Amino acid sequence: MPRVTDRAAFQAELDEVRAREKAHTREGDAIAAARRRLPMVEVDPATPLIGPEGSTTLLDTFEGRRQLIAYYSMWHHGQPASEQCQGCTWINTEVGDLSYLHSRDITYAVFCQGPYGESRRYRDFMGQRMPWYSALDSLDVLLEGRQIGLMHLICYVREGDRVFETYWTTRRGVEVVDTSLALMDLTVFGRQEWWEDSPEGRPRLEGATMRLNGRPIPQWARVEAGFSDDLTGLQDRDG
């Protein structure tokens, strides 16, 4: 546990951290401003994906809005729900009400790197409601020059029927979607992960930090509520 002190001494040290937080916020604003000034690269708007109505296009996934944020969810082919990506499960569980994004003319969608049928079944098992597509057959185009099989977050903008990629990130860059990790970072024990710089003796999780008893953590609430995790219950539209 941290040392105990009086209110004045606590506030004095907190004020030092607060000054660094404010500087961090201002630097984040400056980085966001730099993102808005990046060049962009054109992408074929007819790039095919698979959605709830079968074959569709990248342009269609905008749903008529000006911008698109696509989360490229990892997929472990042929594996049951319990063995699917713990990080992508965590991230997508954090995505709830999309109305605020929609108010800024932004669509958020998952482009799964696996087949539509079983991955959509997984989305339904998890109770997620964001638009869901399979990008499996177009990953070489959509992830050109990047490692297929990793989680990616990619931003697009359209001008009429033309589509442009404006930003992308991967690995810890996708943490911007996750409020749980940001809240954990405010607590005295942090995320309790092995790599964190915490005082000696603070709690540390052993092994996988996003799994519990053999499953990604958010799955347990769905299993206990009686939802089926059978991924074979929905036929693949793409075979």
40's CB contacts (< 8 A; 6+ apart) are 157, 164, 165, 166
If one compares 131 and 180, the residue with the highest pLDDT of the two is 131
Position 9 scores a pLDDT of 94
The yes-or-no verdict on residue 237 having pLDDT over 50 is no
> Under a CB-based contact definition with an 8 Å cutoff, are residues 167 and 155 in contact?
yes
For 128-152, the pLDDT digits (tens) are 889 999 999 999 999 999 999 889 9
142's CB contacts (< 8 A; 6+ apart) are 43, 47, 58, 72, 111, 135, 154
Picking from 53-62, 183-192, 226-235, which range would have the lowest pLDDT averaged per residue? 226-235
Place 195 in a pLDDT band, splitting at 50, 70 and 90. Answer: confident
For 208-219, the pLDDT digits (tens) are 678 888 888 888
The yes-or-no verdict on residue 84 having pLDDT over 80 is yes
Per-residue pLDDT, averaged over 11-22, amounts to 94
The yes-or-no verdict on residue 186 having pLDDT over 70 is yes
190's CB contacts (< 8 A; 6+ apart) are 184, 196, 198, 202
Position 221 scores a pLDDT of 85
Total length of the chain? 239
Picking from 102-106, 211-215, 232-236, which range would have the lowest pLDDT averaged per residue? 232-236
29's CB contacts (< 8 A; 6+ apart) are none
DSSP state of 207: S
> Under a CB-based contact definition with an 8 Å cutoff, are residues 68 and 61 in contact?
yes
- The CATH code belonging to domain 41-178+211-224 is 3.40.30.10
Give the H or E element holding residue 16: helix 7-35
Residue 73 tokens, joined: 């969810």
Alpha-carbon gap, residue 181 to 108, rounded angstroms: 20
Q: Which of 62, 68, 54 is nearest to 134 (CA)?
A: 54
Q: Which of 80, 102, 101 is nearest to 89 (CA)?
A: 80
Strand 48-51 to 106-112 pairing = unpaired
